[in-house]
Structure 1
Amino acid sequence: MEIPYEILGKFFVTIALLAIAGILVALILGVYSFNKHRILFPNFVLLILYMFYGPAKFICSIFSIKETLVDEILVEVRNAVMLEKFRNTKGKRVIFLPQCMRHPKCKARCDPIIGYECRMCGLCDIGTICKAAKEHHFEVYVIPGGSFVKKIIKTQQPDSCIGVACYPELSESMQGASPFMVVQGVSLVRDGCFDTKVDVEEVIRKMEECDV
């Protein structure tokens, strides 16, 4: 028995409208949670925005909303969802920093497994973060790319991590890492391909959460 094309068309239009409605609701909930610091239906927001990531960004572009909004919501909602577990995790803690934070004159050696090994030369903020990390019992990895994160997760088996990157990379990497460890993310305040910046105090505050 063949299903009439008209019925199929109505079915797909209905599905599309429901998807758009779900995306709009997730965006509204995400913006509310982001602005009011009160997370509403976090699992729904994460599910819908990851499932319809591309369409959600397209909807934002239609309404002239900044393209990073979807990623900002995903990062901040996941931060809130996992914060309590992050505070209570007592195992190995690590921080992943992007190599683009290095000073242009950085002479650090890149290990094929763990990435760049900071010399604490003081030319960039990485040394400051490394010093604070030692006090709060975190290990710092300065990584050239996502493949290094996978290597470190496999070899070091951390229980929790703080990731630093631009919002799009954070939302993707936090989703990939969350099945293996408790994650928190801090976005770069100045992104790009080199000489990027992060709010060092915010990274340190994340570490201090584990001291509570």
Structure 2
Amino acid sequence: MTIPYDFLGKVFIIISLLVIAGILLALVLGAYSYKKRKILFPNFTLFVLYLFYGPAKIICRVFFINDAIVDEILVEVRNAVMIDKFKKTKGNRAIFLPQCMRHPNCKARCDPIKGYECKMCGLCDISRIHEAAKEHEFDVYIIPGGSFVKKIIKTQRPESCIGVACYPELTESMQGASPFMVVQGVALIQDGCFDTKVDVDEVIRKMEECDV
């Protein structure tokens, strides 16, 4: 039995329209949840936007919307989904910081398993985060790359973590880490590959939520 090409074309068009409609719905739900802090259908939003991550960014550009909103939605919706479990974790907790937050004159050595070992010199914000982490019982890891996160998960087995990175990096790393632990993400307020900055008060606030 031969299936007519025109029928296959119609099926393809219908499927494409359904996919576009699903992406648009996920973007609208995600944007509403992000702006209003009222999460609607989070699992649907996460599933659709991760599955159609590239097409969702293209659709944003077609409508002259900054495609960074896709990453912001994915990070903030996942934060909201996991926040209650995050607050309840009392065991092994970690903070992952990008090495690009280090001061240019940083003298820290890089451990092959745990990443850079902060000397608490005070030249950058990392030392302040370290001090707060000690108070709230979080281990701090300054990582040169994603492979270090995998090593730390395997060797240290944290139950929960706070990840600091740019939104695209958080989107990818939170998806990869969430099957193994409870995750929360804090985006850099000044990104790039050098002298990056984070809202330290926001990172500390995340830690404090575990004290409730």
What is residue 54 of structure 1 aligned with on the other side?
A: 54
CA distance in 1, matches of 2:204, 2:185: 12
Across the two proteins, how many residue pairs are aligned to each other?
A: 212
- Give the Å deviation of 1:67: 2.0
Listed as ranges, the matches of 1:157-176 within 5 Å are 157-176=157-176
Instruction: State how far apart, in whole Å, the 1-side matches of 2:3 and 2:82 are.
Output: 46
Question: Which amino acid is 1:101 matched to?
Answer: M
What's the CA shift for 1:153? 0.2
- With 58-67 and 126-135 compared, the bigger mean Cα shift is at 58-67
**2:193 counterpart residue number:** 193
SS of 1:66's equivalent in the other structure is: coil
| Paired amino acid for 2:195 | D
Partner of 1:35: 35
Identity of aligned residues (%): 76
Pair 1:66-2:66 in alignment: yes
State the secondary structure of the residue aligned to 1:10.
helix
Q: What amino acid maps onto 1:49 in structure 2? A: L
| Residues 48-107 of structure 1, C-alpha deviations (whole Å, 9 max, x = no match) | 000000000001111121121000000000000000000001210000000000000001
TM superposition shift of 1:109: 0.2
Q: Which residue of 2 aligns with 1:79?
A: 79
TM-score (ref. length: structure 1): 0.99
Distance 2:150 2:114 in 1: 10
RMSD over aligned Cα, in angstroms?
0.5
Find the aligned partners of 1:138 and 1:73 in 2 and give their Cα distance. Answer: 26
Residue identity matched to 1:165: A
**Which residue of 2 is the match for residue 210 of structure 1?**
210
4+ long deviations beyond 4 Å = none
Aligned counterparts of 1:148 and 1:67: Cα–Cα separation in 2? 28
